[in-house]
Structures are given as structure tokens and as C-alpha cells.
């Protein structure tokens, strides 16, 4: 009380206003964080072509929130794809924007077909990310990949679903 008395009414009102504004800002930021929230499922319904040697981000990201110490997660990717014969493509994940790593089977090859006439096929891949590679809170998982041969190696990716869930 003595401190308040020495500060004077005007200064107290000034400090109170600043504290109020700061409080509102913090609340606003928290609300924004919840509004965006983690996105455990991503679906894309068009075709894209990725060209080049491994590894580049393919731009598809999912995220999940884990309270406290993280536990392993399973990231599933189910996709249509098409590529030329004898081209090998590998895929992996960038966890929290770290470099592309391989967390399970992620290779694509095409059976022998006449070049230029390959049919679309589908694959479902599962990556297991260990707890040691994640932080407490929200973690992001971005699909990445590329060819094992030439710079011109390319893969067409069609409709696909990327999902992350906690391993139970």
C-alpha cells in the first residue's frame, strides 16, 4: 500500500493499463495458438511432380500435440503415384524442420512397363518416429524425398493422405 501511495494515482493507473494490455495480448496469443492448433490429418486431391535427387521437402505437413514427455508417433502416408521404370525414389520425414530422415520403409519403384505409359499405383507407408526426436508440446512432420539416381529423377504424386497419431 505504501508503494502505491508513493507512486501516485496517475502512475498506478498507468501501470494498471499496461498490465491490462499485456494480459489481453497474452490471452490473444493463447487463443490464436488454439485457433490454429495441431493438424494431425492432411489430404491433397490433385497431382504434383517432384523432381530431383533426395532429399527435398515435399511440402505436406502434419502436427500433433503431446502434453509432457513425448511418446513415439506413427506417421502414415497413403498415396497414388506414378514414375518411370527403373527409377528409385525414397521418402522420409523432416521432424520439426530438421533434415530429412528415414523412419521406415519409404521407397518407390515401378514395375517394368513401356516408358511413358506407366499406370498409376498406390502405396501406404508407415514411419515410426521415436520419442527422442521430439519435443514436449507440438511437433511437426513434413514429408520429404527424392531420387537415388539422376537429378532428373521424378515421381508424380496423386491423391494422398498424411496422418500422425500417437503410438499406443
- Nearest distance from residue 20's CB to another protein, in Å? 33
- CA 111 to CA 123: how far, in whole Å? 13
Nearer to another protein, 25 or 41 (CB): 41
Minimum separation from the CB atom of position 42 to another protein (A): 8
Q: Which is nearer to another protein, 82 or 146 (CB)?
A: 82
Q: Residue 142, class by beta-carbon neighbours within 10 Å (0-12 exposed, 13-18 middle, 19+ buried)?
A: buried
Residue 79 C-beta: closest distance to another protein, Å: 5
Nearer to another protein, 17 or 107 (CB): 107
The contact set with another protein (CB under 8 A) reads 40-43, 45, 76, 78-80, 82, 113-114, 117-124, 158-161, 163, 165-166
Q: Looking at beta carbons only, is 61 or 76 nearer to another protein?
A: 76
Closest by CA position to 81, among listed 124, 127, 126: 124
Euclidean distance between CA atoms 68 and 81, whole angstroms: 38
Least spacing, CB of residue 85 vs another protein, in Å: 12
Shortest gap between Cβ of 41 and another protein (angstroms)? 5
**Taken in order 26, 29, 35, 37, is the CA torsion positive or negative?**
negative
- φ/ψ of residue 20, rounded to 5: -65, -45
Taking the least distance from each CB to another protein, the nearer of 12 and 166 is: 166
CB 139 within 8 A of CB 40: no
Q: How far apart are the first and last CA of the chain?
A: 55
Amino acid at each position: 500500500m505504501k508503494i502505491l501511495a508513493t507512486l501516485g494515482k496517475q502512475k498506478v493507473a498507468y501501470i494498471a493499463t499496461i498490465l491490462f494490455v499485456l494480459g489481453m495480448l497474452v490471452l490473444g496469443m493463447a487463443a490464436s495458438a488454439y485457433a490454429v492448433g495441431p493438424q494431425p490429418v492432411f489430404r491433397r486431391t490433385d497431382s504434383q511432380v517432384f523432381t530431383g535427387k533426395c532429399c527435398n521437402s515435399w511440402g505436406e505437413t502434419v502436427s500433433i500435440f503431446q502434453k509432457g514427455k513425448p511418446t513415439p508417433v506413427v506417421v502414415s502416408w497413403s498415396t497414388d503415384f506414378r514414375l518411370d521404370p527403373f527409377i528409385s525414389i525414397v521418402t522420409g520425414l523432416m521432424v520439426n524442420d530438421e533434415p530429412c530422415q528415414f523412419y521406415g520403409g519409404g521407397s518407390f519403384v515401378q514395375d517394368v512397363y513401356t516408358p511413358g505409359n506407366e499406370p498409376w499405383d498406390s502405396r501406404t507407408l508407415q514411419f515410426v518416429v521415436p520419442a527422442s526426436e521430439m519435443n514436449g508440446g507440438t511437433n511437426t512432420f513434413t514429408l520429404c524425398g527424392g531420387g537415388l539416381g539422376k537429378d532428373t529423377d521424378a515421381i508424380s504424386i496423386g491423391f494422398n493422405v498424411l496422418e500422425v497419431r500417437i503410438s499406443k
